[in-house]
Amino acid sequence: MRVAGFSLVRWDPYYVHNWSLWFDIVILVRTVRVVIRVSCAG
């Protein structure tokens, strides 16, 4: 499966091996920034 040019299959093992609370917070912040950017754009 591809999302925004990235393969989710490639990211799943990375996430499993590098999980941390900090990593989850970074993902959450990036997601919120994208949602806000898209909401403001249109």
Check pLDDT > 80 for residue 42: no
For residues 33 and 18, what is the distance between their CA atoms, to the nearest angstrom? 22
pLDDT reported for residue 39: 83
Check pLDDT > 80 for residue 25: yes
pLDDT reported for residue 28: 94
Tokens of 17: 């091996």
Tokens of 16: 């499993």
> In the predicted model, what is the mean pLDDT of residues 31-35?
92
pLDDT reported for residue 40: 85
For residues 26 and 32, what is the distance between their CA atoms, to the nearest angstrom? 10
Q: Where are the domains of the chain?
A: 2-41
Task: For residue 17, give Cα distances in angstroms to 12, 20, 39.
Answer: 9, 9, 33
Residues 9, 1: contact at Cβ < 8 Å? yes
